[in-house]
Chain A
Amino acid sequence: MCRKHRENGVNWIMGKVMKPGVHIKGTKAGLLFLLNESRPFSTVLSELKSKLEDGSNLWDGPDTRVLIKLGKRQITRDEEKEMRRLFSSHKNLIIHSIETSNGRPYLVEDQGIQILTGTVRSGQILEHRGDLLLLGDVNPGGTVRSTGSIYVLGALRGLAHAGGEGDEEAIIAASSLYPTQLRIAGVVSRPPDEWGESGVTGMNFAYLVNGQIAVDKMHHLNRIRPEIEWKGNRFRS
């Protein structure tokens, strides 16, 4: 029994049985790659990588159709690119389809900037994909997390995490920026004490520079992000 499990690629970690992140099945239609939805996608990808690079000539042979099943998971365009790159190491593996189990599109659609209202109170978590404009306060103990930038029209007194999937270009802006903690991509920052209610006034934003989070006045944003600067009136002929 145990041996059979191992053959199926079951990992034994800390005495807990983990299902394999990648399960491969041969079918008439082609090779079926079942990617476990309950593991982080990065883990699944690294497992896929090790399987594909598994030295043996298992993968060599005639052109084979590859069908990828993601379970209930939806992935981003970057994740898809990364996955396709892994398969591209074997020229004979041709990705034929990528599917989710519940019939939804496999790509997370970019939600663009979304506007939400309400107070994020202590113990509550607001999660979002893409950029987020929150019309309301984030109280101490509350958390706002997004994969893009976070803009708060209100007081940001809790925790904000922008660029949750590694986007280092993301910024956090708030009408009053008095957070308990700020995170951008993988960087965590605690506001220094001199930020106190009297110190920084007006609208501020936080951004990532040289691996550190810095805070600046809103009207300096165009120096840091010139690519989105407003230049002249686009609609005037």
Chain B
Amino acid sequence: MGEAIVVTSGKGGVGKTTTSANIGTALALSGKKVCLLDTDIGLRNLDVLLGLENRIIYDLVDVTEQKCKIEQAWIKHKRCDTLYLLPAAQTKDKSAVDAKQLRWLTAELKERFDYVIIDCPAGIEMGFKNAVAGADRAIVVSSPENAAIRDADRVIGILEKERVPQPKLVVNRFRPQMVKEGGMLDVEEVISVLAVDLLGVVPDDEEVIRAGHQGEPIVFQSRNLAAKAYRNIARRIQGEVVPLLPLDPERKLFHRMKRWLGLA
């Protein structure tokens, strides 16, 4: 019996889909059997980020309408044997499914997978309510800016009301340099407002966009810092205690210099 984790944020464009793709891939790379479930019906992106767009035959709505079996709809990733994607329909809209159907679908998927990662649409309307319905846990993604934090806060409130226990926070698009200049909120400030546990901090990196463009999640690149952050998040999801990555390259060097001199 697996676990269903919904990735949500309220605000659009903070990186829900990227986070879903990378966390899912990272979990799969560590040997777990993972299914990514795209619930953003009508605006599906997850298949594009994973580079699986041209393999879609059936989609989520076909499954809930029982036009096909679940096994026919999911797509195995080309590079990772334990990673599957159940794509959303592009021709329908959010009203094509309801909470009951998604609860059934996630329950079915949980039977077959270790982790079901649900990519939630932006907003707090029906699409969101449906996506949350079957989830056991929630990951709230927020970038360190006020607008995203307001929406994340609202979403956490709704999740608490919907009885999804203890949402965890991923701070995405973090820029240490901007924090230093005072143009961006620090992770501590974000946590003090949202008052939830931190699951990880992902630095802002052009490579993430480039990787998405090529349809290969960044986690496949072993040396990239954002990829490391995602892999650490995947380890924390599995219950490991992993210290936060030092994201500030300068501080890292300075620290190393201090260590050379025997000061730290």
Contacts and interface: CB of A to CB of B under 8 A. Distances in A.
A121 B193 CA distance: 9
A71 interface: no
Interface in A107-124: 119, 121-124
A122 B150 contact: yes
A141 B150 contact: yes
Interface in B112-167: 146, 150-151, 153-154, 156-158, 160
A141 B192 CA distance: 15
**Chain A interface mostly:** loop
Given A121-B157, A122-B157, A123-B157, A155 B192 contact: yes
9 contacts: A119-B195, A122-B150, A122-B151, A122-B153, A137-B193, A137-B195, A140-B193, A141-B150, A141-B153
B154 A157 contact: no
A146 interface: no
For the residues of B in contact with A, the DSSP-based class is helix
Interface of B: 146, 150-151, 153-154, 156-158, 160, 192-195
Interface residues of A, number: 12
Nearest to B152: A122
A67 B153 CA distance: 49
B150 A140 contact: yes
Contacts of A36: none
A157 B157 contact: no
A141 B146 CA distance: 11
Interface in A132-166: 137, 139-142, 155, 157
A137 to B, nearest CB: 6
Contacts of B151: 122
B232 to A, nearest CB: 27
A223 B154 CA distance: 39
Contacts of A119: 195
A121 B192 contact: no
Contacts, number: 30
A95 B146 CA distance: 56
A141 B195 contact: no
A155 B195 CA distance: 11
Contacts of A124: 157
Chain A CB within 10 Å, residue with most, of B151, B157, B160? B157
A176 B160 CA distance: 25
A97 B151 CA distance: 50
A122 B161 CA distance: 13
A124 B155 CA distance: 11
Contacts of B156: 121
A139 B153 contact: yes
A140 B189 CA distance: 13
Contacts of B160: 121
B193 A123 contact: no
Contacts of A121: 153-154, 156-157, 160
Centre residue among B151, B153, B194 by max chain A CB count within 10 A: B153
Contacts of A122: 150-151, 153-154, 157
A191 to B, nearest CB: 16
B192 A140 contact: no
A137 B157 CA distance: 13
Nearest to A120: B157
Contacts of B192: 155
A116 B157 CA distance: 16
A142 B160 CA distance: 15
- The 6 A-B residue pairs with the shortest CB-CB distance, nearest first, are A121-B157, A122-B154, A122-B153, A123-B154, A121-B153, A139-B153
Contacts of B157: 121-124
B168 to A, nearest CB: 16
Contacts of A142: 153
A122 B160 CA distance: 12
A121 B194 CA distance: 8
Contacts of B150: 122, 140-141
Contacts of B193: 137, 139-140, 157
A141 B153 CA distance: 9
Interface string A204-216: 0000000000000
B196 to A, nearest CB: 9
Nearest to A123: B154
Contact of B154 (A137, A141, A155): A141
A99 to B, nearest CB: 35
Nearest to A136: B195
B10 to A, nearest CB: 9
Nearest to B151: A122
Contacts of A140: 146, 150, 153, 193
